[in-house]
Every structure is written in C-alpha cells, then in structure tokens.
Structure 1
Amino acid sequence: MTFIIKQLFSKKSEDQSDVVKEFVEDVTDEKAIFSEVDKNRKVIEDIFGESIDFSMSEILFSERKGFIIYFSSMTNSERVLQQLKPSLSQLHHEHEKIESLDNLKAIRDSFFSDHRTDLVQTFHECVWHALNGAVVLFLEGFAHALVIEVGGLEHRSISEPSTQTIIRGPKDAFVESLDINLSLIRRRVKNPRLTFRQYIVGSESRTAVVIGYIDGLTNPGIVKEVEERIEKIDIYAILDSGNVEEMISDSAYTPFPLIFNTERPDSIAANLMEGKVAILVDGSPFALLVPCVFTDFFQATEDYYQPYFMSSFIRLVRYSSFMISLVLPSLYVALTTYHVELFPTTLLISIQSQREGVPFPAVVEILAMELTFEVLREAGIRMPRAVGQTVSIVGALVIGQAAVEAGLVSNVLVIIVAFTAISSFVSPIYNFSISTRLLRFVLIIGASIMGLYAVLLLLVVMVVHLTSLRSFGVSYLTPVAPLTLGDQDDVFVRFPVWANKKKPSYLKQVRNDKMVKSVKPSPPSSEGDQT
C-alpha cells in the first residue's frame, strides 16, 4: 500500500498506452466522436475494456445499432436494469426512425425528463461522465453521445463530527460526497451570490476540487490567488484535502498549520460570511478555509452558540492551555536542573525528596515519559475503537504507576506529563495541537542545555517565526501583530453579537459591515411598550 501511494505522488509512469495518455493526462485533447458505432466501440474498449467494473451493453434503437457504457462501481446497476434499459426497449418499439439530431433531442426530453441528460461530441466528455457515474449512449449514424445520469451508489450518511465535537450547536458533519457537502453549505447560506467553482486536479485521480466564496463580499484578490495556486498543482493524485493543503500552503518549513481545516458545515458557512474562501475536495470529509490566522485555531463554533461571558472564559482557558502544554515540561527541567533557588523551600524539599533514588536526570525522565505518552496516544488512535480508549487510559495509569514504584521517575513528573497532555487536548483543532507537541520536545532539550535562558530564547525565536508567516498574503499573527484595535472584539474574548458589527479588516472585503442594524437588547421602557 505504501508503495502504491508513493507511486501516485512521485514521477510519472512511462509505459502507459497512448489512448490512456490522451484521455487522462491531456485534458485539453478533445477527440470527436465518430458517426460509426463500431469505431466508437473500439476506442472505448481500448480505454476501459480490461476493467472488471466496466459494463458495455449492445442495444437496438429505432433500427439503429448502439451501445451503452457505465461503471458498476460508480452507477446504481439496478436503476440501469430496471429503468433505463426498459425505457430504451420501449423507445425501440414506439419510434421507427430517428433521422436527425432534433429527433434524438425530442426523445431525450420526453423519455428521460426524470434524469439529468446531456449531448456530448467528444470522447473526452464521454469518459469524464462515465467516470463520474453516468450512463453514456452511442448510436449508429450520430457523432453525438447521450449522457444519462441515473444516480450513483449509496454513500455514508451524515453523522456527528468525530474530531470537532460540541455540546450546543448543529450536529451534522461533512461526508465524502462533494454534492452533499455543497448542499450542507448551501442550506446554511441561502445567498444567490454564494459561488462554487470546480477544478480537476491530479493527472491520474482526476479529483474534483471546489472553491466557494460569496461574490461581492470576498476580496477578489484572495479568490484569484486561491485559483492560481490550485491551477498550478501538478500531482498524480489527490486523495484527501490534506494533499491540497500541502500543495498550496505559503510555507512548508513550519510546524504551524497555515490553512484551517474543519469537518463542520456551520464553521465553513460562518467563515464564508466573514469573507474567506472555502476549498472542498471530492472524497474528503474535511474542508479548508483560507486565509487563516493564528487566533483562528483557538476559536470554536460553539463559542457563538453560548453566552459571551462563558465563551470568553473558555477561550482564555484555551490560550492558557496552549502555553501550559508548550512550556510546562521545559520549565520543570530548567528549574530542577539549573534554577532550584526559584522554588519555595517547602516545595523544593518535597520535589527533591520524591526524586531521591531516581537514577536519571530530569531531562531523561521527562523525555522518556513524553515519548511513552505519545506512543500510547498513537496506539489508542490506531487500534479498534472498542479497545483503543481503554489501552490509552489503562496503559498510562499502569505504566506511570509502575515507573514510580520502580523508582525510575518521580510522582511530580507524572503529574506534569499528565497535566501537559490534558492541556494539549483543549485545542479545538487537532493539527494545531500537533505543532505544540513537536515544539514541546525542542523546548525540553533547550532547557536541559541552558535552563530558562534557552526557554526564553526559543520562545522569542518562535514568535519571530510566527510574525514571518503568511497565509495567502495575510500576516499569521494578525490582528495581534500588527495590532489592529478594531479587530479585537473576537480574538482573546468574544464581544456580544450585537456589539460585533464589523468583519475582520485584514481580509479587505468588498463590504466590511457585519450587521446593518444591531442594538443592545433591553426590556421595554414601559408595560405598554412592546417594541
């Protein structure tokens, strides 16, 4: 499996047939359909003939030979057998001759009005529609093919989000079907200016990538930049939105995510109305949002469904948890190794008494425990759900307790590692917490070499690195650095909805107003006043 994936993302194969190259690699080549049905059959067989899920059926239609093609893996075969073929048989008996293209169009409009249909003139279009689950009909004497969409196979039903769960708010999440994902967004943003544009990416996979934005609101410069980056993607296959994210990011040399990803339609809808651009990939339940800034990863959609006092408090907890998970282990190493005088005497005696008999220095202890926890975390994720959580929790308890009783680590170290791990789970976006986990090890090693000086120096380097990052032309630390006072109403705390009247200015939207008219709610001035 690993070899196959590497081949998809590496150099191109040299032994492909010319026919496959014509219709897969070169999307601009549009070879016209022949009027002779036998020639058309030969071309189609050269492309798909050896695939086990490819179906080709001969038909006789109004004294004309023909055939239909479809993929059983992409098309509902029962509908083809129960609806389409009987309709074609009925047409054969009721219509003696089809002498012109107008006759064919009239039959299409009358007999296939329940299906989406199209007349195409090139093999490229035929192949594309077949690969997307349609049935294609070829007839003798016509240099056109009739495309009939009968419906695809069943897909995963809409369920609750698995990685971005909330207590209050919508419970639906994106699925692997692009059409369903678009409908989940359209259901929330019933705006005629909501625009979706499709691009085909991947010379082998031919994956549909859609960008969405609100025309007349979103900055046209951002839309153009997104389009140009997607058009420049030159890769064999797109298997998930993560592949697109890696190909269009501003920088590849940073542990911080420069593109926001979510499986929640309400999050996409809210950000679209802020002026951002959404990117959806067929086959992926995660959508992307650009541009994004550092503070976006501390905001959750539930913040806007709860009272603003509670939302502000929880958001401050997230910022505090980020700093705790980042620096707490390194602070422990620095203080116990170089700066013991900073501890209160009582606390110092307690810590040193627990460390009595431990054969390793603090840095070895904490690196061993952190690595152990990372192993348990990955084991819990990769194992079956029925036992994964049990393995991670029980494993941590058993190993931690056994390590303390064996005198390999101290009790206070187990507390620090556990609290650090819990703090890292507070982040609402999973891939942002990964960057914290990586930087934590860097800070621990630095603290073991130079103590608090190294911790402070590395934090300064991290901030400088953050200020240098850009996400589609937007500074990553905006609106904190550079400081924009007008955008502070939804950064560290959330202002009330009625007080939040402007969209983020760093997006440079065409329209910056969020609410046309909003006033602070208050009771009526008198009993008779109900306005």
Structure 2
Amino acid sequence: MIKKMMKKFLSTKNSPFQNEPEQKVFHQQFNGDLQIIEQKLKQAFGNTADLIIENIQFGQKQGLLVYLNTLTDWQVISSKILLPLTEAANQQEQVFTESDWVDFGQETFSGAEHTFIKEEQKIIDDIINGQAVILIEGFISVLSIKVLSFENRGIEEPTTQTIVRGPKEGFIENIQVNLSLIRKKIKNPALRFEAFTVGSETSTSVYLAYMDGIINKKILQEIRKRLNDIQTNAIFDSGMLEEYLVDKTFTPFPLLYNTERPDTIASHLITGKFAIIVDGSPFVLTAPTTFSDFLSVSEDYYQPFLMGSFIRMIRYLSFLIALLLPSFYVAVITFHHEMIPTQLLISIITQREGIPFPAVIEALLMEITFEVLREAGIRMPRAVGGTISIVGGLVIGQAAVEAGIVSNIMVIVVALTAISSFVAPVYSFAVSTRILRFGYIILASILGLYGVFLGMIFLVAHLTSLRSFSVPYLSPIAPFKLQDHGDIFVRVPAWASKKRPSYLQTEKPSKQPDYNTPTPPKKRGGAS
C-alpha cells in the first residue's frame, strides 16, 4: 500500500522531483542564423555573468564572438582573435563563400589551436571547455579557438608518497601537465592516451593510458567498456571514479592503485598495466593491481637491490604488526598467560594492578583515541596539525596512565601499532589495515589466539577471492607462480629481471634481453 502511494505521489504533476530543470541538448547543426543561436546560447547558459557574447564585423557580414571570461585569457583573445579580425577588416578583405571563410580561418589563426565545428551542442561544449567560438552570419562552419587559461599549482614533490632517492616531481590538478609528465618518462610512440568524458553535469575529462603492444587486449577492452558504461552526474576526483570501475565486491582493500608519482605510473605502464588520469585530480589510478603492489614503492628500484629488499621486508613486517599486535596482546593477556615469560608476566600484572577495565576495553579505548588524534592532525591547519597530534598523544597517554585508566604496556602496544601503520606507502591500504584491526581485537577477546588465527584464515580466503580486472589479488602468491617471485617479498637485481609478470598475460612477456653483469678485470701479474 505504501509503495503504491509513493508511486502515485511521484507520478503526479505537482511532484517536487519534476520541477528540477532538465539539461537541454541541442542536436541539430548550426544553420547560420545568429539571432537563433544567440537565443539558444542564452537559454543554455541562463543569466550567468561570465558568458560574453560580442558582436563583430567581418567584412560585410555580421558575426558573434562567444566565450566564458572565467575560463579564457583576455590577452590571448585580444592578440590572437580580435587583432587579426581588425586587421582583416582594415584591409577590406572580403569573404564571399563558406570555403573562403574556412581558408581565411586556417590561414589567419594557424598560430593558435583551432578547429571548425558545425553542431550546436559542440559549440556549447567548446565554450564550456574554455574555447572562444566565432560565428559568421550565413556560414554553418563555426571557428573554435583554444584560449583556455587556468591558474595551476606548480609541480611539487608528492606529499603522500615521499622518497629519499628518486624523482621529486608529482602530479598536479591540470590533466595536460599530468599527461606531459607521463610522456616525458616514456618517450615511446607506443604510449597511447584515449580521451573519455564522464559526468552528465561536470563533463570531466578522463584519459586512459596504456602501452600498445604490451597490455593485454582483453583487459584493455574491459576498462574501455567500464568507462563507457559509467552513468553519473559528477566526477571531481579519481577516488569517485574508482568506485565505478572496481568489481562489485564488499572489501576494505583497494582494488585500484593510486599514486601522485609519475615514475610509478610509468613503471606500471611499462609492466603492462593501464592508468586512469582524471582532470582536476593529482592522484592517478592504475590497474590491474595486486596485494604486493601496495607494499612496494618506486624507491625500491633506485636503491641497491639488497637495501630495497630489506626495506620491503620491513614493510611486510610492519603490516603484520599494525594488523595483529593489539589483538595478540589482548588474546595473551586474557587467555594465554602461560605464553608470557614469568618475569614479563609479573611486570605486566604489576602495571595492570588497579586498571578498572579488561584488556579488550583498554585496547579499544586507546585505539579509538589514537584514531581521533590522527584524524584531528590531518584536518587541522598544517602549521598546528602535527603539534596537536604529538602533544595530544603524549598528554592523553601520560594522563591516562597516571589516572589508572590504561597501563604503560598498552600505551607501548598502541604506539608501536600506530607507527607501523604509517609505514604503508598507500594511504587507502593503510586505512583497510586500521579497520580490520578492530575486528581482530574483538575476536581475540572472545576466542583468544584461536580467534586471531580464525580471522587470518578468513582474511586469506577473502584476499584469494578478490580480482582486479580478472587478475587474482594475491598473484603470484595464490595462484603460486615461482617465476614471478623475483619482485614480491624481495627484489632481484635489475639485470636479473627479464620477464614481465605472467599473471598480466601481456602481449610482450619479455622485458629485456639476457644481460651479464660486468666482471672485475683480472689482476695483472707482477712486473717483469
């Protein structure tokens, strides 16, 4: 009954949902009538103050110059459009036919990026994208000239994925700059950029990047299909686009890799993956991705392979500490006292004497407090954010211990867990670890170590079931492929890495030919 009433309400003429303005699309071609097109432009843009429609004189014909002054550079319009038109008028240059107008435009504006269009909807789209259009009475060809002007943030060092050794440049919010940064890294004609437009109301430019002749064609076909099938009203960042591209799987783990680093994206493209660049976002997406991708960074390949392998193993260890340490502490303190050495057990019991809460409440209280401090440090102004988080942690931790709310050992456990969580190179991956940590603490409080191990079994099973564009998330661990383990837990020397990952099924499996490292010169004999 309620459903029928709601359906009837929504179908009535007085429904508030029917009063929303519909987007007007102009499918027909421009017929050369300036009055009609001027009315349509004012109808499409409404009373917006930044729409400029200027009457111009072109020989014996009337014309219109239309642009948005919030997206264009007036100096460029004056020098590249108005000045040539004025000179042509002073020289009394006559244009009689459509072909004369096209020839004049190609000759006069050859120094500017321009094109001729005929569709009315294309005229509106070009104006929105920062173009200036020139319409001449009686001619159906409309000249569109690029005069786009934006204030861009300069290329800076990435803020979320800093490294010690390696390139320091990072992506910015300008998509053309981001494309040029990738092109600068890969000087290869096989690098392809395909343009898409996503968002019915924002018309956000999205580019698909890949290496032709390397990427798996089935994966390329799938990402094209997913991009074309997106139906949404707005896209403002790559994070919003990510939810429309990943498989419908309920998981806390990210299935697309995101980074601010052009060298990382270039490396993934060379490997056989694709990248998604979104206009207005400094974070570029890449896939197919695996679990091991989130525990490796580009700096691993800029350091000697022994050092890179050691640091990578530290990251895996930090992941386990951030995920399991609080739950192990709760399980041992609650159920498994016999696992603790006697002297350490006596010390812990002495510290916990007078604590009013059980270990699980103590752990959850401290973890939630630290998460609040972490979030406050991120959202506060940068000048005081770090101070708030550090001072807040020290003051609250010390005061909680002195007040007898938590023990010293719990503060140490939570602090070590928090530090380990910061080791994760990708923020979205670290967040998934923080979410799962609370679940393991609850399991440990109910079933002890059995609950922790049961949770690990379910976690491995869940990771094994995940796919990123048909590639198993735990590749090459599950399914196990020995030939791909040269770049998972440790990194082999660069000269020994000859094949691309087999789980990507690239068209060109070989990455580089066989190469023998230089051997030291033989010692010469003594002086004769």
- 2:389 counterpart (389, 392, 401): 392
Cα separation, 2, equivalents of 1:189 and 1:524? 35
Identify the residue that residue 21 of structure 1 maps to in structure 2. Answer: 24
- 2:281 counterpart (251, 267, 284): 284
- 2:151 counterpart (133, 149, 154): 154
After superposition, the C-alpha distances for 1:369-428 in whole angstroms (9 at most, x for unaligned) are 100000000000001000000000110000000000111100010000000000000011
The code of the aligned residue for 2:243 comes to: E
Is residue 65 of structure 2 the alignment partner of residue 62 of structure 1? no
TM-score with structure 2 setting the length: 0.94
Deviation of 1:15 after TM superposition, in Å, equals 3.8
Is residue 350 of structure 2 the alignment partner of residue 353 of structure 1? yes
Deviation of 1:16 after TM superposition, in Å, equals 5.1
Identify the residue that residue 123 of structure 1 maps to in structure 2. Answer: 120
Residue 124 of structure 1 aligns to a residue in which SS?
A: helix
Is residue 290 of structure 2 the alignment partner of residue 311 of structure 1? no
- 1:514 counterpart (511, 514, 528): 511
Residue 283 of structure 1 aligns to a residue in which SS?
A: coil
Cα separation, 2, equivalents of 1:135 and 1:204? 21
Is residue 329 of structure 2 the alignment partner of residue 326 of structure 1? no
The code of the aligned residue for 1:138 comes to: L
Cα separation, 1, equivalents of 2:132 and 2:473? 48
The code of the aligned residue for 1:173 comes to: G
Identify the residue that residue 454 of structure 2 maps to in structure 1. Answer: 457
Q: Structure 2: any 5+ residue segments left out of the alignment?
A: 1-15
Cα separation, 2, equivalents of 1:138 and 1:168? 54
- 1:213 counterpart (182, 192, 210): 210
Identify the residue that residue 443 of structure 1 maps to in structure 2. Answer: 440
- 2:296 counterpart (295, 299, 319): 299
Deviation of 1:63 after TM superposition, in Å, equals 1.5
- 2:481 counterpart (478, 484, 489): 484
The farther-off stretch of 464-473 and 54-63 is: 54-63
The farther-off stretch of 351-360 and 89-98 is: 89-98
Is residue 91 of structure 2 the alignment partner of residue 94 of structure 1? yes
Q: What does residue range 69-108 of structure 1 map to in structure 2 within 5 Å? A: 69-108=66-105
Identical-residue share of aligned pairs (%)? 48
Residue 507 of structure 2 aligns to a residue in which SS?
A: coil
Cα separation, 2, equivalents of 1:15 and 1:91? 49
Pair 135,345 (structure 1): closer, same or farther in 2 beyond 3 Å: same
Structure 1 contact 251–469 (Cα < 8 Å) conserved: no
- 1:173 counterpart (170, 173, 180): 170
Cα separation, 1, equivalents of 2:510 and 2:432? 34
Identify the residue that residue 473 of structure 1 maps to in structure 2. Answer: 470
Cα separation, 2, equivalents of 1:393 and 1:180? 37
Residue 25 of structure 2 aligns to a residue in which SS?
A: helix
Cα separation, 1, equivalents of 2:92 and 2:495? 66
Identify the residue that residue 6 of structure 2 maps to in structure 1. Answer: none
Deviation of 1:525 after TM superposition, in Å, equals 4.5
Is residue 221 of structure 2 the alignment partner of residue 224 of structure 1? yes
After superposition, the C-alpha distances for 1:36-73 in whole angstroms (9 at most, x for unaligned) are 11111111111114112211111111121111111112
Deviation of 1:13 after TM superposition, in Å, equals 6.4
Pair 123,16 (structure 1): closer, same or farther in 2 beyond 3 Å: farther
Pair 511,340 (structure 1): closer, same or farther in 2 beyond 3 Å: same
Deviation of 1:77 after TM superposition, in Å, equals 2.3
Residue 373 of structure 2 aligns to a residue in which SS?
A: helix
Identify the residue that residue 398 of structure 2 maps to in structure 1. Answer: 401
Is residue 407 of structure 2 the alignment partner of residue 410 of structure 1? yes
Structure 2 contact 80–112 (Cα < 8 Å) conserved: no
Q: What does residue range 33-44 of structure 1 map to in structure 2 within 5 Å? A: 33-44=30-41
The code of the aligned residue for 1:399 comes to: I
Identify the residue that residue 4 of structure 2 maps to in structure 1. Answer: none
After superposition, the C-alpha distances for 1:134-169 in whole angstroms (9 at most, x for unaligned) are 101111010111001123222111111010000110
The code of the aligned residue for 2:394 comes to: L
Identify the residue that residue 3 of structure 1 maps to in structure 2. Answer: none
Pair 370,35 (structure 1): closer, same or farther in 2 beyond 3 Å: same
Identify the residue that residue 335 of structure 1 maps to in structure 2. Answer: 332
Structure 1 contact 63–96 (Cα < 8 Å) conserved: no
Is residue 269 of structure 2 the alignment partner of residue 266 of structure 1? no
Structure 2 contact 171–282 (Cα < 8 Å) conserved: yes
Pair 335,17 (structure 1): closer, same or farther in 2 beyond 3 Å: closer
Cα separation, 1, equivalents of 2:170 and 2:17? 37
The farther-off stretch of 82-91 and 442-451 is: 82-91
Residue 255 of structure 1 aligns to a residue in which SS?
A: coil
Pair 101,16 (structure 1): closer, same or farther in 2 beyond 3 Å: farther
Q: What does residue range 483-502 of structure 1 map to in structure 2 within 5 Å? A: 483-502=480-499
The code of the aligned residue for 1:231 comes to: N
TM-score with structure 1 setting the length: 0.94
Residue 199 of structure 1 aligns to a residue in which SS?
A: strand
The code of the aligned residue for 1:228 comes to: K
Residue 51 of structure 1 aligns to a residue in which SS?
A: coil
Structure 1 contact 499–520 (Cα < 8 Å) conserved: no
Residue 419 of structure 1 aligns to a residue in which SS?
A: helix
State the superposition RMSD in angstroms. 1.5
Cα separation, 2, equivalents of 1:186 and 1:518? 27
Cα separation, 2, equivalents of 1:189 and 1:14? 51
The code of the aligned residue for 2:479 comes to: P
The farther-off stretch of 60-69 and 48-57 is: 48-57
Is residue 377 of structure 2 the alignment partner of residue 380 of structure 1? yes
Q: Structure 1: any 5+ residue segments left out of the alignment?
A: 1-11, 24-29
Structure 2 contact 174–280 (Cα < 8 Å) conserved: yes
Identify the residue that residue 13 of structure 2 maps to in structure 1. Answer: none
Deviation of 1:87 after TM superposition, in Å, equals 2.1
The code of the aligned residue for 2:282 comes to: P
Residue 218 of structure 2 aligns to a residue in which SS?
A: helix
After superposition, the C-alpha distances for 1:175-196 in whole angstroms (9 at most, x for unaligned) are 1111111000000111111111
After superposition, the C-alpha distances for 1:320-350 in whole angstroms (9 at most, x for unaligned) are 0000000000011011111111111000000
Deviation of 1:109 after TM superposition, in Å, equals 2.5
The code of the aligned residue for 2:25 comes to: E
The code of the aligned residue for 1:242 comes to: G
